[in-house]
Structure 1
Amino acid sequence: MSALMTSDQLAERTARARAAAVAAGRDLGWDVSAATVLHDVFSVVVHLAPSPVVVRVPTVLPRHVDAEQQSAQQRVELDVAAWLAEQGVPVIPPSPLVAREPVLRDGFSMTFWEFVEVDHDAEPDYARRCGSTAELHAALRDYPGELPFLSAADPRMVTDALADLAAYPELITAVDLDRARREWEVLGPVVGSRPEFEAVFPGVELQVIHGDAPAVNIVPTSGGELFSDFELATLGPVEWDLASFGPEGEAVYEKEARRRGLRGLDERVLRFVNAVGMLRAVSCLALAPQLPMLADAVGPAVEHWRATPFAGGLDELLTGSPRG
């Protein structure tokens, strides 16, 4: 069993990521004399001040993700964000000062983005932002690239996490872990296979989606709100981007989607993506050794999950027989 990283180890990782970002910027000829860490959770985000460039350096990754897979995922993110910017969609675009490719430096794979002034006083209205998500979906319908089905769910991560968590009884009880594994037996095959999904949910249209709660990943600026963080962009049902926002957010999305000529939300798919989302939250406990704050941060989600029906109440639909 791996111990949780100490505060000193976390600070050292942040320093290494910042140093790698600064070194990469310096190699590109930029003035990085006032480089500042803006954010540090799953990634260390560094503003290479005074240059107008922000570097995102992922530092907390599932154990199965290798450098090649990470770089491929980052290329998708860069391509999707750049394409949306070209269509006039309000996004934080890749930096125009560097080639649109991830950069490997000192063991980190990083991406470079245009710096924007964040309005730190803005209060997020997530329900209203669900309406903006419909705007994003309308644009993404025309994205020309081919993306894999629901790669945002990262089935390999969930499978590995539910195996690894047996070594961490202090993070999850045996009863909870047993339920999570039984739920994954029901949900996993549908998440991991487009034909399986389409067999269970016939007629539900798929399209390119953000993949990671776009209403949360909106950055308020003095010039308006900008979509960001397309790391998990994928092909999937639009409901995936509405998971966990609840009836109010769903209603706002539905109204805006109808106004834009998009399909409405499918109630069964919503239950499915909410169930998968909660199981992914439980699985994130396996990342706590790399990011100890998750042990507490995931707690409310686990409490909520315990109170929900097994597999979102869809086990009979997904398998043909109830398994709760």
Structure 2
Amino acid sequence: MTTTEWAGAAAIVDGPGGYTGVEATPEWADEVRRLARARNATVLAHNYQLPAIQDVADHVGDSLALSRIAAEAEEGTIIFCGVHFMAETAKILSPDKTVLIPDERAGCSLADSIDADQLREWKAEHPDALVVSYVNTTAEVKGLTDICCTSSNAVDVVASIDPDREVLFLPDQFLGAHVKRVTGRENIHIWAGECHVHAGINGDELTAKAKAHPDADLFVHPECGCATSALYLAGEGFVPDDKVKILSTGGMIDAARATGAKQVLVATEIGMLHQLRKAAPGIDFQAVNDRASCPYMKMITPAALLRCLQEGKDEVHVAPDVAERARLSVQRMISIGNPGSGE
């Protein structure tokens, strides 16, 4: 069966959890690559995507890193396999390109934890404050932001601001707490948002895993509810300081290649394990919580990606004036240095 015949035989079904009906076979991968070439498209996949989606993509990484790759790509169409705010960021940095997301319903509980109207009200309560927004926010929120940040450079961004200036940090309360702890800054106000998946990775689970595997390194994403517990374990001597690493997903890849540990406990969304195992195949990577799977990320199914390439859906649009303001907040972050490799 040729790839064209196979594609015609695929029965894509729109179900309650997203598009189904297509298996990630070698024929599917060939057809995805053929259609991408025909559309002059490059396929980008976030680290939390299904392994099959990561493996068929041209580039895999963090949201900001992928958006910067999108801006530099020769192709005129970007297929962003991730959640909606990520595709928006790619559009912000690539306004003249067509950006498609395989399922526009793939949202984000963290990005949804603050909208533009809520931010306007918060800014009105603190008129002299500077707004620092994590890249995990909508385009409209970025457009009301002074400086964006990633989890890998949030401390540097906040530290670059006049110490006498109030800071509004949003939307993630755990990343904000990490920044406040490291910088020692008291005049930082933190929005009470969270990623429901990362927040669900709790300190009790981390403590139990760490005690059961005393020789393992701990890789903890700062969005996790257990980040403070990880530092407590180190501070109390339960785990050596050098084994606890608070890292962005991009930082986890670098640390995996550098560590001498034989086992690593990973506190982040479980899709990350696929890239870590590819980066360091000799290490035993284990999830702190093997149920930490983002349902929105997993909406980008093989069927959704095939549909996207076959039909040119779903296109992501950002109003030009919003994109212009949002682009400035991202560029200010990059100008500070150490833009990191995503969230």
Fold equivalence (TM over 0.5): no
Q: TM-score, normalised by structure 1?
A: 0.31
